[in-house]
């Protein structure tokens, strides 16, 4: 008589249960990892735009459009997949640059801004701050 080889149904069910538990832990962590990477991309673009606007101000003595060169808050805004950048306030002496998270990038509700004085603020599902950019859960 030959021995039967293979796995029993119970053994297969135990392995499937273990894989399910591991996936339920790993998947949210991975999604959070991707979200933090996208936030870093958005904050980098926001900082880059701030630097370009300061260069614009040095050349034209105003944050408003109409000077020499490509206006950074118009056609010069970076185009990134995760955030929409805008300059809702850009007049002679005041500037606010805003990055609004896109829903299709799983960043709905994430808003970051910086003004002409370098004051950073953020509104995120993780928390709000009037003095820094919240870039991961519970941290500025």
pLDDT tens column, 104-119 = 988 999 999 999 999 9
For residue 1, what pLDDT is reported? 60
Give domain status of residue 104, yes or no. yes
Number of domains the chain is built from: 1
Taking a C-beta distance cutoff of 8 angstroms, is the pair 140, 133 a contact?
A: yes
Give domain status of residue 2, yes or no. no
Share of the chain above pLDDT 90, in %: 59
Q: What order do you get walking across the sheet with 120-124 strand by strand? A: 83-90, 95-101, 111-115, 120-124, 127-129
Give domain status of residue 139, yes or no. no
For the whole model, what pTM was predicted? 0.81
Give domain status of residue 5, yes or no. no
For the chain, the average pLDDT equals 89
Beta strands 127-129 and 83-90 are unpaired
């Amino acid at each position: 008589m030959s021995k039967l080889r293979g796995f029993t149904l119970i053994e297969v069910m135990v392995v499937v249960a273990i894989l399910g538990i591991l996936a339920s832990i790993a998947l949210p962590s991975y999604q959070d990892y991707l979200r933090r990477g996208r936030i870093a991309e958005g904050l980098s673009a926001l900082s880059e735009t701030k630097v370009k606007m300061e260069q614009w101000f040095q050349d034209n003595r105003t944050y408003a459009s109409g000077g020499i060169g490509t206006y950074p808050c118009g056609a010069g805004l970076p185009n990134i997949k995760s955030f929409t950048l805008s300059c809702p306030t850009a007049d002679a002496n005041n500037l606010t640059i805003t990055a609004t998270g896109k829903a299709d990038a799983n960043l709905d509700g994430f808003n970051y801004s910086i003004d002409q004085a370098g004051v950073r603020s953020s509104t995120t599902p993780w928390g709000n701050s009037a003095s820094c950019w919240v870039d991961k859960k519970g941290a500025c």
